[in-house]
Amino acid sequence: MRIFVASGIFHPESGGPATYLYRLLPEIVARGHDVRVLTFGDAPTASYPYPVWRIPRRALPLRTVDYARAALPEIRRADVVFLNSLGLPLIGRHNKPSVLKVVGDLSWERAVRKGWIPPGEDIDRFQTGSYDLRVRLNRAAQSREVQRMDRIIVPSRYLYNMVTGWGASPDRVRLIYNALEPDAAASTLNLAEARAALNLDEGPLLLAVARLVAWKGIDHLIRALAQIPDVRLIVAGDGPEETRLRALAESEKVAHRVTFLGRVPRDRLAIYVRAADYTVLYSGYEGLSHMLLESLLAGTPVIASDKGGNPEVVRHGENGLLVPYINLEALIETLRIAFSGDTRARLAAHTAEGLERFKWETLVDSTLALLEDVCGS
């Protein structure tokens, strides 16, 4: 089977979609299939067991034209087109079967980024809210795109409900949970050893791994930290909100307890996960977070918002703690509970429970079976 993979981001860029393809595609190649990848990005820094073409992110519309032109011969050659992003500039698919993985609402993200909707507008309210013509046109285009697909993969029940709400036929939407293999490089480190490897002191420590955009909720964590003495926060990731977040940490007088690492290599990030008391993901939206899975697989309990796919991973009071989103009092109280008594030890003892749904072999088998099925039909 000749598979053309079209994506907006790819390894070594950070983010769940890039990680997903980087782990998945070698497995597909190993089973005898032909894979080719087209993505936006700069020159590659690694080699892969399949060709990867990168379109530089120069100004619109030049990069869109470049991407569409590069995709045409690959679409003609392929048996199936596997899209890993919404809104990619693919001009016609020549009646080739198409599978789309949806990990979020691109029209909502664009509306937030461009200021078309009120600041802090909730993604769930956005699904049925009334907005101006720009938003309506973007939502309509997204709905048309998903309705044209032969199959759609979603990584959570939450996203299944969202995508069918856009008009996708339920019999074309498949729930295949995200999954990750345990990181062998960090699997032997306990908390004390990981901190020693990173030269981190003892004491309560939170780790937030996220792209620094508004809906990831890092600002709420910083405000909560001001009410919780002695707890430190390490933030791994970069993004357009970094300057504002640094200024907020200064104004809240917690800058000495907040460390911004920027983008961290995956092997080193795995050690930070082991070194933390908790991984915290207080975001306003998540499809199904790879970071939550990585943390639980490493034995580190999690604190997460109750939004999106988070409740499908985090069982409150068992392997982590769920917190209402944009509820500062609840967040402060949850952090106090997290660092009191034996809470951390009790939650850490159960991080491996319930992860059977997120087995890597199941993801690979189910995805490949879906691609083969759509080719056959």
Residue range 222-263, pLDDT digits in tens: 999 999 999 999 999 999 999 999 999 999 999 999 999 998
- Residue 58's Cβ-count burial label (10 Å; 0-12, 13-18, 19+) is exposed
- The arrangement of secondary structure in 2-180+359-376, i.e. its CATH architecture, is 3-Layer(aba) Sandwich (3.40)
d(CA 216, CA 235): 11
The predicted model gives 10-22 an average pLDDT of: 84
Q: What is the pLDDT of residue 185?
A: 47
Q: What is the pLDDT of residue 298?
A: 92
Residue 93 has pLDDT above 80, yes or no: no
- Domain at 191-357, CATH class: alpha beta
Q: What is the pLDDT of residue 17?
A: 84
Would 2-180+359-376 and 191-357 be classified into the same CATH topology? yes
The predicted model gives 89-110 an average pLDDT of: 89
Residue 186 has pLDDT above 60, yes or no: no
d(CA 137, CA 220): 32
Q: What is the pLDDT of residue 5?
A: 98
Residue 188 has pLDDT above 50, yes or no: yes
- Alpha-carbon separation of residue 339 from 123, 220, 255, 277, 301 (angstroms): 31, 18, 20, 9, 12
Asked if the bond preceding 265 is cis, omega within 30° of 0, the reply is: no
Higher per-residue confidence, 13 vs 293: 293
Higher per-residue confidence, 347 vs 18: 347
The predicted model gives 97-104 an average pLDDT of: 96
Q: What is the pLDDT of residue 15?
A: 73
Q: Tell me the pLDDT band of 205, cut-offs 50, 70 and 90.
A: very high
Q: What is the pLDDT of residue 60?
A: 81
Cβ atoms of 175 and 157 within 8 Å: the answer is: yes
- The pTM (predicted TM-score) of the whole model is 0.90
Cβ atoms of 362 and 179 within 8 Å: the answer is: yes
Residue 94 has pLDDT above 80, yes or no: no
Sorted by where each begins, the domain ranges of the chain are 2-180+359-376, 191-357
Q: Tell me the pLDDT band of 95, cut-offs 50, 70 and 90.
A: confident
Query: What integer best gives the mean pLDDT of the chain?
Result: 93
First-to-last alpha carbon distance for the chain, in angstroms, is 14
The predicted model gives 327-353 an average pLDDT of: 97
Q: What is the pLDDT of residue 221?
A: 98
Please state the three-class secondary structure of the chain as a single string. CEEEEECCCCCCCCCHHHHHHHHHHHHHHHCCCEEEEEEECCCCCCCCCCCEEEECCCCCCHHHHHHHHHHHHHHHHCCEEEECCCCCCCCCCCCCCEEEECCCCHHHHHHHHHCCCCCCCCHHHHCCCCCCHHHHHHHHHHHHHHHHCCEEEECCHHHHHHHHHCCCCHHHEEECCCCCCCCCCCCCCCHHHHHHHHCCCCCCEEEEECCCCHHHCHHHHHHHHCCCCCCEEEEEECCCCHHHHHHHHHHCCCHHHEEEEECCCHHHHHHHHHHCCEEEECCCCCCCCHHHHHHHHCCCCEEEECCCCHHHCCCECCCEEEECCCCHHHHHHHHHHHCCCCHHHHHHCCCCCCHHHHCHHHHHHHHHHHHHHHHHC
**Least confident range of 86-95, 189-198, 368-377:** 86-95
Q: What are phi and psi of 275, to 5 degrees?
A: -80, -20
Can you read off the two tokens belonging to residue 177?
Answer: 């949970």
Q: Tell me the pLDDT band of 197, cut-offs 50, 70 and 90.
A: very high
Residue 183 has pLDDT above 60, yes or no: no
Q: What is the pLDDT of residue 119?
A: 80
d(CA 220, CA 328): 7
- Residue 130's Cβ-count burial label (10 Å; 0-12, 13-18, 19+) is exposed
Q: What are phi and psi of 89, to 5 degrees?
A: -80, 70
The predicted model gives 51-80 an average pLDDT of: 92
Residue 182 has pLDDT above 90, yes or no: no
Q: What are phi and psi of 312, to 5 degrees?
A: -80, -15
Can you read off the two tokens belonging to residue 167?
Answer: 């008009």
pLDDT tens-digit map of 24-45 = 999 999 999 999 999 999 877 6
